[in-house]
Amino acid sequence: MNAPVTSFDAVSVAVLPPVARFNLRIAPADVAQASAAFGLTLPTKIGQGARSGDRAAYCIGPDEWLLHAAEADQQAVVSAFDKARADTPHSLVVISDREMTLSITGPAALDLLSVGCPLELSRLPVGGAKRTVFDYAQVTLIRDGEDAFRLEVWRSFFPHVHGLLEIATRELAVGL
């Protein structure tokens, strides 16, 4: 169970457990090979995501994907891409320890995120992801449901983002 960082009736913020996280750079023509190595068909449109079981892939650039897997599967994913490298040039970087993930859920999730994020958040489709900023911190925002988001934050920016979310949650609780 994820302990809430902060919450009130309309929104809850929790730190999620670690996952195996990778940054994949590969030519768009080689996405099929990467999909085979990862065990999930990678989306090809920027902002799209795909998910199956513990695996998820998010297209965040014309030749860039954010990949998630169960923490225990990290070495297996690395090994699969090492084998693929013989025929398919690519870069797979393990970024598991670089980021922490916050879950933001509830009917006021959009209001809370809009405090620090300049995107028109209602336009991000469920299942989609977008690299953006929260205040000045680079983050990746993933939309899991109408009122459910994940915010991936670099560890060095986590105290700042966490602090802003705590303040904004208290302000929303008073105002709603």
pLDDT at position 150, please?
A: 97
pLDDT < 70 stretches in the chain: 1-7, 176
pLDDT at position 176, please?
A: 58
* Cα–Cα distance measured from residue 34 to residue 49, given in angstroms and rounded to the nearest whole number: 15
Residues 44 and 109 in one domain: no
Residues 102 and 168 in one domain: yes
CATH number at residue 30: 3.30.70.1520
What is the Rg, in whole angstroms, of the alpha carbon atoms belonging to the chain? 17
Sheet strands (E) in 16-147: 20-26, 49-52, 55-61, 64-69, 90-94, 99-105, 129-134, 137-145
* Cα–Cα distance measured from residue 164 to residue 17, given in angstroms and rounded to the nearest whole number: 21
Taking the whole predicted model, whether its pTM rises above 0.75 is answered as yes
pLDDT at position 172, please?
A: 87
pLDDT in tens, 15-47: 999 999 999 999 999 999 999 999 999 999 999
Residues 164 and 139 in one domain: yes
**In this structure, are residues 175 and 9 in contact, taking their beta carbons and an 8 Å threshold?**
no
C-alpha closest to that of 165 among 124, 115, 93 = 115
Domain span including residue 163 = 4-16+98-175
pLDDT at position 1, please?
A: 41
What phi and psi, each to the nearest 5 degrees, are found at residue 96? -55, -40
pLDDT in tens, 7-16: 678 999 999 9
Count of domains for the chain: 2
